[in-house]
């Protein structure tokens, strides 16, 4: 599984639970045309405990 596949899964789950997010760091930089040596994906979220707990329960078997 490549980073893009993982990102798609994570975004689908975040949207499923209406969790606000933003993609940052090298992955975002690479998409905007400023290449970096690393290809990690950092995601900043804004949510509450109820939503994050549902998210974690839903994703725990995927990773």
Q: What's the whole-number mean pLDDT along residues 7-29?
A: 87
For 35, 36, 37, 59, the CA distances from 9, given in Å and listed in that order, are 23, 23, 23, 9
**How far is 50 from 6, CA to CA, in rounded Å?**
23
pLDDT: which is higher, 1 or 46: 46
- Residue 12, pLDDT > 80, answer yes
- Residue 4, pLDDT > 90, answer no
pTM, to two decimals = 0.77
Q: What's the whole-number mean pLDDT along residues 21-40?
A: 70
**What is the overall mean pLDDT for the chain?**
85
**How far is 28 from 26, CA to CA, in rounded Å?**
5
Confidence (pLDDT) at 58? 96
């Amino acid at each position: 599984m490549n980073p893009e596949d993982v990102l798609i899964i994570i975004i689908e789950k975040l949207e499923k639970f209406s969790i606000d997010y933003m993609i940052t760091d090298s992955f975002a930089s690479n998409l905007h045309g400023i290449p970096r040596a690393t290809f990690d994906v950092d995601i900043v979220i804004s949510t509450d405990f109820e939503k994050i707990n549902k998210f974690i329960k839903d994703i725990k078997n995927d990773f």
